[in-house]
Amino acid sequence: MIRPFARFASVAALVALSLSAMAAAAQQQVPAAQEPAGTAPSSPAPTAAPVFPKPDPTNFTAAVPTKEAVNSFLQTTWGFDTNRMWQVQAILKTPVEGISKVIVLIGDKAGKQKPSALQFFALADGKHIVAGDDIVPFGEHPFAEFRAMLQQRADGPYKGSASKDLEIVEFADFQCPHCKDAQANMEKLAVDFPKARIVFQNYPLVRIHPAALQAAEYGACVTKVGGSNAFFTFASAVFESQDGLTSADGTTLTLNSAVTKAGLDPAKVADCAKSPATNAQIEASVKLAQDVNITSTPTLVINGRQVSATGPYETIKQIVAYQAKLDGVN
């Protein structure tokens, strides 16, 4: 019987960044889950790289996925972090035919973090895993499906290259304070990756941000009338005056002011924003966010890989460069 480390890493450590290096803020439709009451405090972090116990061959009872397939997936997911280390400790059959339980031990070479264990269930299709409450793409190229979907359907205003070889899609909400904070990172990405296509995709979280939909509709119309350059001038002005989006009159004043700064006619943009076609455009953008499993704003999707937009910039930059390398983008 395998005895993994007592503490299990969160699913976010698998599907996004190394959260040990990036505790990113994000705006969600529902409150984040809290730690259970009475949870014991973590032990002091070790000061040397962990030595994982040798895997027991009897804990590899499932034929699929293979250890090689799991390692390939983890290398794709975690390989940007050269300090991370892991070991596949078990791939076990379950009572359900075709579903295997995988246990991976995780540590860091510098020994600054307490070792942990991650478990997930690999599904019979070989393309997905269940980790925590999420179904996550799996395989040697886990981000390929979402990358193709975004290349086809992400139609927001963009900076940089017309090519979609390296596409960074930002899903954001104009009334989200974390989205405002993320704009500094977005500006740096545009400078450091001039060959990237950086797309702004509206994802208004209307349950918690009543003005977000109207702001998104104005933004879509600014793009329609004035193009991408006008949109980013508008977006910058809205984020700078975000506090004005707290009342109906304040929202109208804030949006009209931002339209004027973009060099456009507020009355013309306002008429466009009221049209069914504009509303349908925003609904399509929201549907795209849902289809690629975006659950919070601001989220970046880098050639299909999700990353929080509010984390340390150097970590985000490292991931963009790593994903570009994986995808053969020069």
Of the two residues 12 and 325, the one the predictor is more confident about is 325
The pLDDT value given to residue 25? 44
Instruction: With residue 77 as reference, give the H or E element that holds it.
Output: helix 67-78
Give the β-pairing of 167-172 and 197-202.
parallel
175 or 33, greater pLDDT: 175
Note the helical H segments in 129-247.
144-153, 177-192, 212-240
pLDDT beyond 50 at 148: yes
Q: What is the mean pLDDT of residues 171-186?
A: 98
Mean of the per-residue pLDDT values of the chain: 88
Kindly tell me the burial class for residue 257, based on how many C-beta atoms sit within 10 Å of its own C-beta (0-12, 13-18, 19 or more). Answer: middle
Spell out the domains of the chain, with CATH numbers in brackets.
Answer: 12-32+45-139 (no CATH), 145-326 (3.40.30.10)
pTM of the predicted protein model: 0.85
Segment 35-60, tens digit of pLDDT:
334 444 555 555 788 999 999 999 99
pLDDT at 45: 53
Residue 202 pLDDT > 60, yes or no? yes
